[in-house]
Amino acid sequence: MDTAIEPETEQVVFVTEDGVPTGETGPKLASHHEHTRLHLAFSCYVLRRSDNALLITQRALHKKVWPGVWTNSVCGHPAPGEALEDAVRRRADYELGLPSLSDLHCVLPNYRYRTPPFQGIVENEFCPVFAAWTDAEPAPNPEEVGDWRWVTWIDYRELLNDVTANVSYWAKDQYSQLKGIEPFSGL
């Protein structure tokens, strides 16, 4: 599996309100602006098998979209024709240095959100949310990840509720739906 798609050639898949691909694609960076069209994405929460700690990451400060924002473990966009599960594994390997995730499964298949503008960018995504486990320590790619840490679900909730913390819109929005479902309801 190719773990790197060059940023200048990476494409997003445009979808209908129900998440069905329209057959159209667009360049990833050029497609994110103040009038971003609805496109397919994913979020994944990686838990450490030994203690169910959650891996959270801070996006690298030099990234063009959402720099320095703390968020869930890994997010991204599937390539045209790529299965979501394959995209999650590709990005976890590329961004986090975690080539093997176990028990990867979708926990919010119909999650969709649209952010308020952030530095001229609006996210508008049909974004299924996944959970997965690992026994490995991450070895993050500094082009993608500025910092990372393992946290308890309670510490994650506190971070999301801290008005001074620089946390992604989607992490806050997803939490309200995740907190009541497995595997998160028992953490």
The token duo for 89 is 């594994």
Average pLDDT over residues 126-140: 97
Question: Catalytic pick from 6, 8, 24, 75?
Answer: 75
Q: Is 35 within any annotated ligand binding site?
A: no
Interval 6-59: pLDDT, tens: 555 789 999 999 999 999 999 987 888 888 999 999 999 999 999 999 999 999
Question: Catalytic pick from 44, 85, 125, 127?
Answer: 125
Interval 62-117: pLDDT, tens: 988 889 999 999 999 999 999 999 999 999 999 999 999 999 999 999 999 999 98
In the residue annotation, 182 being an active-site residue is answered as no
The token duo for 49 is 């098998």
In the chain, which residue ranges form alpha helices assigned H by DSSP? 28-31, 84-96, 153-161, 169-178
Interval 149-172: pLDDT, tens: 999 999 999 999 999 999 999 999
CA distances, 29 to each of 12, 121, 140, 169 (Å):
9, 10, 22, 19
Neighbours of 11 (CB within 10 A): 17
Mean pLDDT of the chain: 92
3-state SS assignment for residue 181: coil
The structure's pTM equals 0.93
**Bridge partners for 141 per DSSP:** none
Q: Is 77 within any annotated ligand binding site?
A: yes
pLDDT at residue 9, as a whole number: 77
pLDDT at residue 4, as a whole number: 55
User: Would you kindly state where each structural domain of the chain is located, as residue ranges?
Assistant: 11-176
CATH class of 11-176: alpha beta
pLDDT at residue 5, as a whole number: 59
- Between CA 14 and CA 116 the distance in angstroms is 19
Dihedral angle sign, alpha carbons of residues 77, 2, 84, 60: negative
Q: Are strands 129-134 and 124-126 parallel, antiparallel or unpaired?
A: unpaired
- Between CA 49 and CA 123 the distance in angstroms is 31
Q: Is 125 within any annotated ligand binding site?
A: yes
In the residue annotation, 125 being an active-site residue is answered as yes
Residue 1 pLDDT exceeds 80: no
Please, which residues have CB within 8 angstroms of residue 81's CB and are 6 or more apart in sequence? none
Percent helix, strand and coil across the chain, each to the nearest 5: 20, 35, 45
pLDDT at residue 8, as a whole number: 59
Q: Is 95 within any annotated ligand binding site?
A: yes
